[in-house]
C-alpha cells in the first residue's frame, strides 16, 4: 500500500507535467512554465523545466529573461527554452519574455517568480508529504483491519449471498465467499480471510462468471453451510502470513 502511494506521489511531484501561465495583459506576450522532470510545489522548483509563450501568428523571435537578463533567444516556433535549475543559484528567480513581430514591434510578457531549490531540499520537501501520508494510510489500514477482526461476528456462508461488498473466489481453495464490508480497502482490493481454508488475500470484487464457477465447485465437493471462523481469534495469523495474493 505504501509503495502504491509512494509511486503516485512521485509521479505527482516529479514526473507528471504541470504548467504555470503568467497573467495575460492587453497586447502582451503570454509566458508559461512547464515541468519536464523535477519537483514543483508551493512555488519551489527543482529539475528540468521549459519556458514557452503563446505565439501570435506574426511572432518571429522571443528573448527569455531570468532575473532581467536575456538567457536564451528562440528564433522559430514553438519558441521554447529548456533549462535546469541546477545551473542557477539557489534562491528566488524571476521569469519574463520579450517577443518580436515581423514589423519590428515588441510585446512583453508579465513577470513571475519561482524559488529554485537543490536536489536535497527537494527530497526533504517530498518527505514532508510522504511521512504524514504514510501515517494516514497506515492508520486507516490498521483501523480497517481491527474493525474487521473485532467487530465481525460469526457468519454463515450461503451460496449467492454476497451482500453489498460483493463476492470473491479464494485463490487457494477456489471457493466463493462474501467480501466483508468492514475489511480494509487496499486500492487493488479488500484484505480478506477465506472462511473455507483460512487464506488471507487482497481481492477485488469477482465477476459473476467466476462466482458461478466457484459455486459449482462448492456444490460438487458436497460442502454444507460453513461457519466463518471468529476473526478475533485468528487475527494473529494475519501478522504471520505475509504472502498476500491479488
Q: Which CATH superfamily is domain 2-125 in?
A: Immunoglobulins (2.60.40.10)
* Length of the chain measured in residues: 246
Residues 6+ away with beta carbon under 8 Å from 121:
44, 46, 90
Q: What is the pLDDT of residues 147-202, one digit of tens each?
A: 555 544 445 667 778 888 889 999 999 999 998 877 888 778 888 888 888 889 99
Domain ranges of the chain: 2-125, 152-240
Q: What is the pLDDT of residues 40-77, one digit of tens each?
A: 888 999 999 999 998 778 899 999 999 999 999 999 98
Q: What is the pLDDT of residues 1-25, one digit of tens each?
A: 445 445 445 555 554 455 555 544 4
Amino acid at each position: 500500500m505504501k509503495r502504491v502511494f509512494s509511486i503516485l506521489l512521485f509521479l505527482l511531484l516529479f514526473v507528471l507535467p504541470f504548467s504555470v501561465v503568467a497573467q495575460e495583459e492587453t497586447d502582451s506576450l503570454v509566458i508559461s512554465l512547464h515541468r519536464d522532470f523535477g519537483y514543483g510545489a508551493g512555488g519551489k522548483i527543482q529539475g528540468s523545466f521549459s519556458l514557452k509563450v503563446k505565439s501570435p501568428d506574426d511572432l518571429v523571435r522571443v528573448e527569455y529573461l531570468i532575473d532581467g537578463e536575456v538567457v536564451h533567444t528562440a528564433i522559430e516556433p514553438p519558441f521554447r527554452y529548456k533549462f535546469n535549475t541546477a545551473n542557477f543559484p539557489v534562491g528566488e528567480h524571476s521569469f519574463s519574455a520579450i517577443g518580436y513581430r515581423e514589423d519590428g514591434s515588441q510585446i512583453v510578457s508579465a513577470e513571475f517568480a519561482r524559488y529554485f531549490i537543490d536536489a536535497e531540499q527537494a527530497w526533504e520537501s517530498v518527505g514532508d508529504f510522504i511521512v504524514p501520508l504514510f501515517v494516514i494510510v497506515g492508520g486507516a489500514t490498521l483501523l480497517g483491519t481491527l474493525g474487521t477482526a473485532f467487530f465481525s461476528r460469526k457468519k454463515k456462508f450461503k451460496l449467492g449471498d454476497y451482500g453489498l461488498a460483493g463476492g470473491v473466489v479464494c485463490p487457494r481453495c477456489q471457493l466463493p465467499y462474501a467480501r466483508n464490508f468492514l475489511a480494509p480497502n487496499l486500492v487493488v482490493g479488500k484484505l480478506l480471510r477465506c472462511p473455507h481454508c483460512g487464506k488471507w488475500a487482497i481481492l477485488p470484487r469477482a465477476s459473476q462468471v467466476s462466482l458461478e464457477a466457484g459455486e459449482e465447485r462448492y456444490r460438487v465437493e458436497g460442502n454444507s453451510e460453513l461457519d466463518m471462523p471468529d476473526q478475533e481469534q485468528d487475527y494473529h495469523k494475519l501478522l504471520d502470513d505475509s504472502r498476500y495474493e491479488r
